[in-house]
Each structure stands twice: as structure tokens, then as C-alpha cells.
Amino acid sequence: MDAETLVATLQAAVPEAQIEGAATIDLHTTIYVSRDHIPALARVLRDDPALGFSLLAELTAVDFWPKEPRYEIVYLLVSMANRLRLRMKARLPADDPHVATVTGVWPAANWLERELWDMFGIAVDGHPDPRRLLMPEDWQGYPLRKDYPVQIRMTPNASEALQVTEEEFRSNLMKDRLTRGR
């Protein structure tokens, strides 16, 4: 399915959405959509039998700092039944980087959206578990932003110190050696 047909199908299903096709050099059809209508478009992409995008393969973002709009969210979708691939993108401004969750459509988006928040600081409205995923809870900043300082100096924080007596250490070491056969 080419971009024009896909845009026409989606525009008929969600008339208020802004959808535009984009040029691509690979086999993925690429479209740009307005961030306000992503959940509605996601349901159409999954539920329409002619489309059948049942798999969210990847969700990530790109930081174009210092240009505006600063962020671009990228959803990579796969329709196994129709042998189609789709790259759906949405642009987000730097002063208001948020998007609605699609976990109700594709449950795999749960951790991917948490990673989006954790690495880029892009808020996901309505997410069921908006905690950090990769960085510690007390981490300052978002490591995949272009303006993130590379040479950061932070003292590591640990939730509790490892307290093992010398006898426990030797006992654990012996158990490990016996299980490995050494």
C-alpha cells in the first residue's frame, strides 16, 4: 500500500486528523500525523482489516535541537497479515513535549513509552506506569537529548550498602565453586 492510499484511508476514518505522506528511500511507507490524534489513528491502523497493523515493532524519538519542532516521535508498525510496514511520525515542540499513550491499542508500547520519557523527557499522557525505566529514579536529566552534558560528574547512589560478613562471603564463594564444578 502506498502513502497516498494509506493517507486517504486514515483521513476518511479520522477526518479531523492532519495526515501527510512523506518521501522515503526504503520499503517503509512513512506518514506524518498530528500528535492529538495518534490514539484514534492507532486504533484505525490496528482494527481496519485492509491495514491490520497489529504489531508495534518500535517506538523512539529523534531530537533535532536547536531546530523547531525539536522532537519527532517514530512508531514502526508491522501488519503481518497484509505484509505491510509503516513508519508513523509526529512532531513535538520543545516547550510542550507530550503525546497520548497507545498502550490500550498496542500493549507493547508500555515499556517503549517509559523509555521515551526516561531518555528524552517526552511525557506520555495517560500512561499506566510513568516511572523511569533505564535510569535510577533520582537521575537528573534525559541522556538522549542533544543538549545533555556528556561529561557529567555524579556520585553514584545506591539504595542500600552490600553488607556481607567474611564468613558469608567465603560460604557463597564455595557454593558457587561447587555448583560450577571447580
Q: Which three cell numbers stand for residue 167?
A: 564468613
pLDDT in tens, 72-98: 999 999 999 999 999 999 999 999 999
Tens digit of each residue's pLDDT (9 = 90 or more) over 5-62: 899 999 999 999 999 998 888 878 999 999 999 999 999 999 999 999 999 999 999 9
Cα 42–chain centre separation:
14
* Maximum average pLDDT range among 107-116, 132-141, 162-171: 107-116
Taking residue 145's Cβ as centre, other Cβ atoms within 10 Å add up to 19
Taking the C-alpha atoms of residue 18 and residue 36, their distance in angstroms, rounded to an integer, is: 9
Q: CA 98 to CA 50: how far, in whole Å?
A: 30
The CATH number of whichever domain residue 54 belongs to comes to: 3.30.460.80
Helix residue ranges per DSSP H, 34-132: 38-47, 109-120
Residues spanned by the domain of 100: 3-180
Give one DSSP letter per residue of 158-177, joined into a string.
-SS-----HHHHHHHHHHHH
Give the SS3 label for residue 125: strand
**Domain total of the chain:** 1
